[in-house]
Amino acid sequence: MLMNKRKQISRDLLAKLFWKDTPIEYAKNNLNVTVHTLRKWFQEVDKETNYIISKGNHYEINQNLSIETDLDCFKLACNEAQEMQQVDNKIASAKCLF
């Protein structure tokens, strides 16, 4: 869900992803227990915020939250490195002109 912060993900898909070798009804029960446990942990830290939202047969991360993952940081670092490389290339080209 963190990878698709602005998207709802079906319970069935999550259950299949995490418990692929388990019959779907058991997998869905495992998912319900896991989400319940996660919610309890989050409430210990912040009783006011609902981090995981249920909408029908889907879950999503609360879109009002500002969440940054390691992947977000990595992508940002890669973009900055590319920009720095482009600047270095321009500087090298400019030096060749002199």
83 and 41 together in one domain:
no
Give per-residue pLDDT as tens, 45-94.
999 999 999 999 999 988 888 777 888 789 889 988 888 888 777 777 77
Give residue 42's domain range.
1-65
Which pair of tokens denotes residue 78?
């890669």
CA distances from 46 to 54, 62, 63 (A): 18, 13, 16
45 and 29 together in one domain:
yes
| Total domains, the chain | 2
98 and 87 together in one domain:
yes
Give per-residue pLDDT as tens, 26-38.
999 999 999 999 9
| pLDDT score for 25 | 96
Integer Cα distance of 40 and 27 in angstroms: 20
Which pair of tokens denotes residue 72?
């977000």
Q: Is 78 left (phi over 0), alpha (psi -120 to 50) or beta?
A: alpha
57 and 18 together in one domain:
yes
Integer Cα distance of 21 and 27 in angstroms: 9
Full-model pTM: 0.65
49 and 83 together in one domain:
no
